[in-house]
């Protein structure tokens, strides 16, 4: 196992870069981060729409969230893979495909986290802002979201962990990420799949375990520093 790692660590870490496209762990982290960052505005929009007093906003948002959550991620990957070339008019790479699919998929999940964060705020917060005379948007931007997002930080880290694991599905559309790198190594060595995929598993585990621990740490910090309002973690 060590020998495999010694000979292939660069491939695991950054793929074929600088001789080919960047890949490996670097690409996995990049895709997970960029997806989560890009889906953020959509997630906030969906969460606010679901909590809206207006039916014409609430119903479509609710429908979108339920639909997305009711389908496996691989569906979105296939759809993006086969449909986006038709829409855009050119072939779309594996990485872009995966990021688009992840943004749609994660937006639905993240919106539920944000919604829970907003609903978890004491009613008095909005009432106090309202009583000052603040309208919906200033109240939302200055009072509601900063607190909701802060409280939901642990859940967002957990969501990042799920996203990291989900990027491994990029393998099926040849997105050059960590699992793809492992498969390449395996194809070269041919005889040591246990070891190769063992390394892969350990890498994912170490990364995700570290992040999950971070989430727990943040959660303790949050429930400490705001006088007891606990950060609610939604299991990823």
Partner 1 sequence: MIRFENVDKWFGTLQVLADVSGEVRRGEVKVLVGPSGSGKSTLIRTVTRLEKIQSGRVSVDGADVAARGLDINRLRQRIGFVFQAYNLFPHLTALGNITLGLTKLRGLSKAAARERAMEELARVGLTGKAHEMPGLLSGGQRQRVAIARSLAMDPEVMLFDEPTSALDPEMVGEVLAAMKRLAAGGMTMICVTHEVGFAREVADEIWFMQAGRVIERGRPAELGDKATHPRLGAFLRKVEQSLGS
Q: Examine residue 138 and tell whether it contacts partner 1 (CB under 8 A).
A: yes
Tell me which stretch binds partner 1 (CB under 8 A): 30-38, 51-59, 146-154, 173-181. 146-154
Q: Examine residue 93 and tell whether it contacts partner 1 (CB under 8 A).
A: no
Sorted by sequence, the CB contacts under 8 Å of residue 66 that are 6+ apart come out as none
Number of C-beta neighbours around residue 88 at 10 A: 10
Report the residue from 174, 229, 230, 232 that binds partner 1 according to the rule CB under 8 A.
229
Query: Of 77, 36, 71, 35, which is closest to residue 171 (Cα–Cα)?
Result: 77
Three-state DSSP state, 56: helix
Give min distance, CB of 236 to partner 1, in A.
25
Q: Examine residue 70 and tell whether it contacts partner 1 (CB under 8 A).
A: no
Query: Of 159, 121, 196, which is closest to residue 33 (Cα–Cα)?
Result: 159
Report the residue from 6, 124, 191, 235 that binds partner 1 according to the rule CB under 8 A.
124
- Nearer to partner 1 by Cβ, of 22 and 116: the residue is 116
Tokens for 99?
A: 């990021």
Q: Examine residue 142 and tell whether it contacts partner 1 (CB under 8 A).
A: yes
Q: Is residue 144 within 8 Å of residue 121, measured between CB atoms?
A: yes
* Contact residues for partner 1, defined by CB under 8 A: 122, 124-125, 127-135, 138, 142-143, 146-147, 150, 225-227, 229
């Amino acid at each position: 196992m060590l020998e495999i790692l010694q000979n292939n660590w660069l491939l695991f870490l950054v793929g074929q870069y600088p001789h080919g496209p960047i890949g490996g762990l670097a690409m996995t982290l990049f895709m997970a981060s960029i997806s989560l960052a890009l889906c953020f505005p959509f997630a906030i929009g969906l969460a606010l729409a679901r909590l809206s007093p207006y039916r014409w906003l609430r119903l479509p948002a609710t429908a979108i969230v339920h639909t997305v959550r009711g389908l496996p991620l691989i569906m979105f990957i296939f759809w993006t893979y086969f449909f986006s070339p038709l829409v855009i008019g050119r072939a779309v790479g594996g990485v872009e495909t995966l990021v688009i699919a992840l943004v749609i998929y994660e937006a639905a999940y993240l919106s539920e986290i944000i919604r829970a964060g907003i609903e978890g705020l004491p009613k008095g917060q909005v009432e106090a802002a309202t009583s000052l005379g603040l309208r919906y948007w200033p109240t939302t931007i200055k009072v509601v979201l900063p607190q909701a997002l802060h409280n939901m930080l642990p859940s967002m880290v957990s969501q990042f962990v799920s996203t990291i694991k989900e990027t491994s599905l990029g393998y099926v559309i040849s997105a050059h990420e960590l699992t793809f790198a492992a498969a390449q190594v395996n194809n070269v060595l041919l005889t040591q799949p246990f070891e190769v995929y063992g390394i892969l598993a350990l890498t994912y585990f170490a990364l995700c375990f570290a992040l999950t621990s971070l989430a727990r740490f943040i959660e303790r910090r949050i429930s400490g520093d705001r006088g007891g309002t606990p950060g609610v973690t939604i299991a990823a």
